[in-house]
Structure 1
Amino acid sequence: MKNAPQATPNEEDIEERLLAVAALIDEFEGYAQNRQQGAHAARIALLADALAIKLQLAAHDRFALRQAALVHDIGEMVMNREYTKASWILHPDERFDMQRHAVIGEQEAAKRGLGRAVQLLVRWHHEWWNGAGYPDALEREQIPLAARILRAADTFAALTSERSYRPAFSVADAKKYLTEWAGIEFDPRVVKMFLTLEEREK
């Protein structure tokens, strides 16, 4: 990725390849590319990397995080369910089925030769700080810091993107959401650091 610092030529090649996959996932999920924000998954990767720098993640952990951010919802595309972009409240059976995308995404990441760290971040990107997430109901520090970062970055990017069934949240409202759910869905430390990001980093 162009804005991801300290990437080696090989890492850049991998990320460029994953950007093409990410574009397909974005299209499937119904994310229209915003000229100002850029592609949805790429934006998540940049947000996550900016947070990772502030939280002093090692270079190899940042590389895995950026890869995972680009393909975190690949399981949804593989499942190819009609209700992925549904404007209605999902039936409990649909919701339970949709939760499988994290595990299917982990498997798909493995098929594509991505490292185990990337696979696990894809698996755990819906884990909640309080243990109410899925698929493994991990909580607090059981969830790797990179996965906690991805949870916050993914949520912020999704909220501030226009969808077919709702308008985009303002940056202020999205920040408020993260703040209100800190300690429940999100790691409070990650949210606190997220709020310090410069506007250009969002």
Structure 2
Amino acid sequence: MLLSLAQSIQERDIVTYEHSRRVAVYAQRLARYLGWSRREARDLALAALVHDLGKTWIGNDILNKSAALSREERLKMERHPITGARILIGYEVHPFYVEAVLYHHESWNGQGYPARLKNEEIPFSARILTVADVYDVLTSQRPYKAPLSMDEARERLLAGSGTNFDPAILQAFVHLLDITPDFTLTQHVCDISLKNLRQPGFYNMFIAGSSS
């Protein structure tokens, strides 16, 4: 079901899908580094693959806007975790995936959204996903920004330690960056056929292709 929903993202917006694909790899790597089992890390990668599912309900005029968003547009954007979580609930997926999607924009200091959770109130899965998500945003080309280098992104992440990010998780991620010179994945349009999403071996293809 999650891979079918990932296909719907790919069909709606290839840029969001490619972002989600990279975030899934970063989140899986970080989870494994933090001691999660292969299965647990795989589940988090699947959650990451659909973490922006709610954006499929937002118009391109907002998603691709190069100027600053208006207050109304930003409020629409900030509803995407709720929309995504509701879609997952409708398909009766496990609560683990729902929580990761719903809370991936919460901040360690309680100033995130949609629930303003703080510190350990935020599910551990979402705290990992937040770091992976922001790292990819920083290092990717967007309509409103140029990509940062790995070193520049590293410094921006460290500046958010204890405010945006769980300090312990962030420190682990930064160390992972330091010991993995080619950590950042290349930004490109995925050439995997849509039908491959439903093939039994797609998940392994997804990880192998994203790690190259």
Tell me if 1:111 matches 2:90: yes
Structure 1 residue 113 displacement after superposition: 4.2
Unaligned runs of 5+ in 1: 1-13, 32-38
Equivalences for residues 77-88 of structure 1 within 5 A: 77-80=56-59, 82-88=61-67
Match of 1:148 among 97, 113, 127: 127
Structure 1: distance between partners of 2:27 and 2:12: 18
Structure 2: distance between partners of 1:136 and 1:200: 35
Identical positions, percent: 33
Equivalences for residues 39-50 of structure 1 within 5 A: 39-50=18-29
Amino acid at match of 2:174: L
Amino acid at match of 2:162: G
Equivalences for residues 178-193 of structure 1 within 5 A: 178-193=157-172
Amino acid at match of 1:182: S
Count of residue pairs brought into register by the alignment: 181
Single out whichever of 74-83 and 15-24 deviates more from structure 2.
15-24
The equivalent residue for 1:169 is 148
The equivalent residue for 1:23 is 10
Single out whichever of 128-137 and 20-29 deviates more from structure 2.
20-29
Structure 2: distance between partners of 1:42 and 1:124: 18
Amino acid at match of 1:169: L
Task: Go from structure 1 to structure 2 and tell me whether the alpha carbon gap of 1:133 and 1:109 turns closer, same or farther (over 3 Å shift).
Answer: same
- Indicate the RMSD between aligned Cα atoms, in angstroms: 2.1
Structure 2: distance between partners of 1:27 and 1:70: 12
Structure 1: distance between partners of 2:11 and 2:153: 25
Equivalences for residues 4-153 of structure 1 within 5 A: 17=4, 19-24=6-11, 26-27=13-14, 29=16, 39-80=18-59, 82-153=61-132
Q: Is the 8 A contact 1:128 1:137 kept in 2?
A: yes
Structure 2: distance between partners of 1:172 and 1:139: 27
Provide TM-score, normalisation by structure 1: 0.80
Task: Go from structure 1 to structure 2 and tell me whether the alpha carbon gap of 1:81 and 1:16 turns closer, same or farther (over 3 Å shift).
Answer: closer
Structure 1 residue 22 displacement after superposition: 4.5
Single out whichever of 130-139 and 161-170 deviates more from structure 2.
161-170
Structure 1 residue 145 displacement after superposition: 1.4
Structure 1 residue 79 displacement after superposition: 3.2
Provide TM-score, normalisation by structure 2: 0.77
Amino acid at match of 1:181: G
Structure 2: distance between partners of 1:44 and 1:28: 12
Match of 1:200 among 170, 176, 182: 182
Structure 2: distance between partners of 1:90 and 1:46: 29
Q: Is the 8 A contact 1:21 1:71 kept in 2?
A: no
Other structure's SS at 2:147 match: coil
Task: Go from structure 1 to structure 2 and tell me whether the alpha carbon gap of 1:15 and 1:108 turns closer, same or farther (over 3 Å shift).
Answer: closer
Unaligned runs of 5+ in 2: 185-212
